[in-house]
Amino acid sequence: MAFAISVLTKEALIAAQEVINAQSQRFPLFSFFEREQYEGEKLEIRIKVVDSEVGRFTTSDGPAHLVRPGTLTTVKVEPLYHRPMIKWTSGDLSLFADWDQVRKMAGPASEALQAQVSRKITESLDDASLGARETMHDMLAGALLGSNTYQVDDQSVTVNYGHPTLTDPGTAWTDAAATIVEDIYASIDEFIQQSDGVPPDTVFYNPRAWSRYFVPNTEFRGFIVANPDLARAFGVKGSPNDMVADNEGTFVDPMFGLQWVPIAGPHIKAGSTAQRWPVNVLAFASLRQDAKRVLEHSMTRDQYNPAATFSWETFEQDEPKGTYSRYSDNGAAVVLIPGRVQLFDAEP
C-alpha cells in the first residue's frame, strides 16, 4: 500500500512542497496575499470602506462617543480549484520501498539512495504542482491588475475589480524627455486623494521597466548621475553614457519611499508565451500603513483542503489501477479595501 511508504505520506509530501515553495523565486505575490479560509462553496467576503474624519474632543470626565462604522459591502466569491496528480511507476515505488528498508537497517543509510529518492520526490512534486501554482499566481496578479480571465472546465470566466486609475503621464515614458520622477510624485499625491488620505507604500511592476523607461530617461539619469548612492539603491550601474539596470529583486527606494516588487518573466498561457506582468503597468498599493488587511487569498474548507493551505494526499485506485498522489489548492483573490490599489499606465 502507498501509505506504508514513508516518503508518500501526506505529511512528507506537504513538507517537501513547503521546501519547494520556499526555494522558488517565481511567485513573489504569494507572500502578499494572506490566506483566510471560509465555509461553503461560494464565499461571502466583506469589503470595508472607512472614511477618515477628524474626531471631536471631550473633557477628562466627559462621555465617550460612538465612532461611525465604516461601510461594509459583501461580495460573493466562487473559488477556483486545482487538483493535478501524479501516477507513481512501479520503479518509483520500488525505489521508495528500498529507501524505507535502508532507513530501518542498522548503520549509515546510503547517501546516494537518499539523494536519488529526494530528487525524485522533489522534481515530481514541483512538476505536478507547477501549473496550479502558476495559475494561482496569475489569479493574484489579475487582482492587482484589475481584471483577469480564467479557464474553468473549458469555460472562460472574467473577474473585474474596478481599481481607480491614476492620471496618464503627459508624455509616454518611452520618450526620453518624459518626466518620470515628476509623474511618480504626482501619482503618489493622486493616490492619497483617491484612497481617503492613505499613501502608497508598494508598487508592483515588471522589472523590464527599468531598462525600457528609467535608464534612457533624461530626467532620471540626471538624478542618478548626481547621486551615486541613489544609483546603487535603484540598481543602476555603469557610466553616464552606458547605464544598465541590474535590479531584479524587491527593494525600497530612497527617492519615493516605495517598496518595488518585481513580477518577472514569461510563462505559457492559453498555448502561447505571455508576460506575467505587462511592462507598461505599475500597480501602486497601500499595504503597510495600518493594521488593516488589504489583500487576501480567500479559500473554502473542503475534504481536499481541510486547512488554509495547499494539500497533498496519496491513494490507490483500481481504474486506472495505480498509486497516485494528488495536489489540492483553491482560492479567490480579494482586495478588501477599495482604493488601496491603483493603476498607472506608462504608455497610454
194, part of any domain: yes
64, part of any domain: no
Q: What is the 3-state secondary structure (H, E, C) of 265-298?
A: CEEEECCEEEECCCCCEEEEECCCCCCCCCEEEE
341, part of any domain: yes
178, part of any domain: yes
Cell numbers for 79, please give them.
Answer: 473559488
231, part of any domain: no
Region 296-321: mean pLDDT is 92
Region 26-54: mean pLDDT is 78
Query: What pLDDT was estimated at residue 79?
Result: 84
Region 243-271: mean pLDDT is 80
The reported pTM is 0.86
Of the pLDDT bands very low, low, confident and very high (cuts 50, 70, 90), residue 1 is very low
The per-residue pLDDT for range 130-185, each reduced to its tens digit, is 999 998 999 999 999 998 776 666 667 677 888 999 999 999 999 999 999 999 99
- Domain residues for the domain of 76 are 2-52+72-207+248-345
Say how many domains are in the chain. 1
Query: Which of 322, 341, 301, 323 has its CA nearest to residue 29?
Result: 341
Cell numbers for 266, please give them.
Answer: 514569461
Of the pLDDT bands very low, low, confident and very high (cuts 50, 70, 90), residue 114 is confident
229, part of any domain: no
281, part of any domain: yes
CATH for 186:
3.90.1690.10
Strand ranges for the chain from DSSP E: 34-38, 43-49, 71-77, 80-82, 85-88, 147-152, 155-160, 202-205, 236-237, 244-245, 251-252, 259-262, 266-269, 272-275, 281-285, 295-300, 311-318, 321-335, 341-345
For residue 163, the number of C-alpha atoms closer than 13 Å in the C-beta half-sphere is: 28
The per-residue pLDDT for range 54-93, each reduced to its tens digit, is 566 666 666 665 555 444 466 677 788 999 999 999 999 9
329, part of any domain: yes
